Structure 1
Amino acid sequence: MELWYTEKQTDNFGITAKITQTFVTEKTEFQDLAMIDTAEFGRMLVLDGMVMTTIRDEFVYHEMVAHPALFTHPNPEMVLVVGGGDGGVIREVLKHPKVKKAVLVEIDGKVIEYSKKYLPEIAGELDNPRVEVIVNDGYMHIHDHKATYDVIMVDSTEPVGPAVELFTKGFYQGIYDALREDGIFVAQTDNPWFKADLIQTVNRDVKEIFPIVRVYTANIPTYPSGLWTFTMGSKKYDPLQVDESAIPEIESKYYTPRLHKAAFVLPKFVEDLVK
């Protein structure tokens, strides 16, 4: 008998993967959590029926959340990651020697606990002395830390359950206030095939708050449609003005200095969404 996991990404479409082992299925205080092993993508974290990360393709998402913003800001000493309890974005943030402190605020401590146990390749830097891990509500942390951070990264699930507030205009305003005078923020903003309305709404809201707003994309095969967007809001620095020849090479599998600007070149139908 074969066991398969299916994520129903719309009412009429989903993706499926053959399961080789189930490690954890638990209803936490905030969401349904599963940690499984798959034949195609290796170990996989699933929250509320949605794939969050897999061993095989996790590097794309985590690198593309972290590096475009950190190579746009000239001195990102204080960095906040909201969500991201698997630790992948933190791992990438720590590749930047200018970062003196990285704060992770994850609402669900079980995500951190099980990621450390079953995804050590991803979560391995959560105990780094440059990292402070806080199990709390990221929305409230933003509200309570005015003018504190150089870069804020929102590594959230899709806008369901505890992540709903992380896609609101009030949250983006709170991020603006929590950033220093030349700060940058970046958030994952879903896919343009199934969530075009969400991308448009986020883009409109962020543009009403930040003077510089850019959208970029990456290919992540286990995420709905495979084409994923990220939205960057900046108070001062434009990622398109970065001298790519001055970007140092870092250990990576997806991000490169040449890709830095190329990622912001959007397919026409995505460009039309954010005009």
Structure 2
Amino acid sequence: MELWYTENQNDHLRFSCRVTRTLHVEKTPFQHLAVLETPVLDRVLVLDGIVQTTVWDEFMYHEMIAHVPLNTHPRPEKVLIIGGGDGGTAREVVRHPRVVKAVMVEIDERVIAASRQFLPELSQGLDSPKLELRIEDGIEHVAQHPGEYDVIIVDSPDPVGPARGLFGRQFYEEVARALKDDGLFVAQSESPLFNAELIAEINRYLRSLFPLVRLYLTCVPTYPGGMWSFTLASKRYDPLQVEPISIPELPYRYYNAGIHHAAFTLPQFLNELLDQD
């Protein structure tokens, strides 16, 4: 008998992959959690029926959400990660040579536990001496730490349930207050193909709070549409002004100096959506 995992990406589109083994299933206090083993994607983390990450393509997402902001800020010494319980973003942040301390705030400790057990490739950074791991609400943490961080990275699930608050204007106002005077932040901002209205809304909010807001893209084959967006908002530093020579030489698998700049070159439908040329 064949076992298949199917994700309903919307009412008219589904994504399926063959499952060789179900490694873990549980209902946490916050969500349904599963880890699946597949022949193509390797191990897959699924929350509430939605793929969060896979061992096969996670580097495309985690390197881009982390290294673009870390290399835009010239001194990203103290970094906050909100969400990212699988550990992939933390892994990238702590290996950046200019990061002195990273604080990771994840509300669901069971995601961390499952990732430690089944996704060691991603979760290895959780044991770094640079990292302080806190099990608490990221929204509350941001509100309680004004002027503390150089860089804030919001690695959130889709904007449903408890994560919806991570996409609202009030949260972005608190993020702006939690950043230092020259701070910047990046949030994953969903699919340009299926969440265009949300992306436009996020950009409107952020443009009223930050002098510089830019959208950039990566490819994540297991996310809806394959094209994925991040939104960077900065009080001072422009990612397009980064000198390639300033980017640390690390064993990247996706990110590099050329990608850093090219990721901000948007297709015309997004330029029109954001009213930028």
* Residue matched to 1:38: 38
CA distance in 2, matches of 1:152, 1:266: 23
Residue 272 of structure 1, CA deviation: 1.4
Is 1:182 the counterpart of 2:182 in the alignment? yes
State TM-score, norm by structure 2.
0.98
Residue 175 of structure 1, CA deviation: 0.4
* Residue matched to 1:131: 131
CA distance in 2, matches of 1:273, 1:13: 23
CA distance in 1, matches of 2:68, 2:147: 21
CA distance in 2, matches of 1:127, 1:168: 31
CA distance in 1, matches of 2:253, 2:148: 31
* Residue matched to 1:20: 20
Moved more, 19-28 or 52-61: 19-28
* Residue matched to 1:94: 94
* Residue matched to 2:160: 160
Residue 95 of structure 1, CA deviation: 1.8
CA distance in 2, matches of 1:192, 1:14: 17
Moved more, 20-29 or 66-75: 20-29
Which amino acid is 2:209 matched to? I
Which amino acid is 1:71 matched to? N
What SS does the aligned partner of 1:271 have? helix
Give a deviation string over 1:64-111, Cα, whole Å, max 9, x none.
000010001000110000000111001101121111111100000000
Preserved contact between residue 67 and residue 92 of structure 1 (Cα < 8 Å): yes
* Residue matched to 2:73: 73
CA distance in 2, matches of 1:95, 1:24: 29
Preserved contact between residue 249 and residue 257 of structure 1 (Cα < 8 Å): no
CA distance in 2, matches of 1:31, 1:168: 21
* Residue matched to 1:268: 268
What SS does the aligned partner of 1:122 have? helix
CA distance in 2, matches of 1:245, 1:131: 27
Which amino acid is 2:192 matched to? P
CA distance in 2, matches of 1:247, 1:29: 41
Preserved contact between residue 248 and residue 257 of structure 1 (Cα < 8 Å): no
Preserved contact between residue 69 and residue 185 of structure 1 (Cα < 8 Å): yes
Runs of 4+ displaced beyond 4 Å: none
Which amino acid is 1:146 matched to? P
CA distance in 1, matches of 2:169, 2:100: 29
Is 1:242 the counterpart of 2:242 in the alignment? yes
Which amino acid is 1:202 matched to? I
Preserved contact between residue 31 and residue 161 of structure 1 (Cα < 8 Å): no
CA distance in 2, matches of 1:179, 1:69: 13
Preserved contact between residue 87 and residue 126 of structure 2 (Cα < 8 Å): yes
* Residue matched to 2:54: 54
Residue 23 of structure 1, CA deviation: 1.3
* Residue matched to 2:119: 119
Residue 46 of structure 1, CA deviation: 0.4
Which amino acid is 1:13 matched to? L
Residue 36 of structure 1, CA deviation: 0.7
RMSD of equivalent CA atoms: 0.7
Unpaired runs of 5+ residues, structure 2, are none
Residue 248 of structure 1, CA deviation: 2.7
What SS does the aligned partner of 1:159 have? coil
CA distance in 1, matches of 2:246, 2:102: 24
Which amino acid is 1:59 matched to? F
Residue 216 of structure 1, CA deviation: 0.2
What SS does the aligned partner of 1:9 have? strand
Residue 14 of structure 1, CA deviation: 1.4
Give a deviation string over 1:113-171, Cα, whole Å, max 9, x none.
00000000000110111100001000000000000000000000000111010000010
Residue 245 of structure 1, CA deviation: 3.2
Residue 246 of structure 1, CA deviation: 2.8
Give a deviation string over 1:177-200, Cα, whole Å, max 9, x none.
000000010000001111111111
After superposition, the Cα gap between the structure-2 partners of 1:130 and 1:246, relative to the gap in structure 1 and judged at 3 Å, is closer
What SS does the aligned partner of 2:40 have? coil
Aligned residues: 275
* Residue matched to 2:196: 196
CA distance in 2, matches of 1:58, 1:70: 18
* Residue matched to 2:169: 169
Unpaired runs of 5+ residues, structure 1, are none
CA distance in 1, matches of 2:52, 2:241: 32
Give a deviation string over 1:199-223, Cα, whole Å, max 9, x none.
1111111111111000000000000
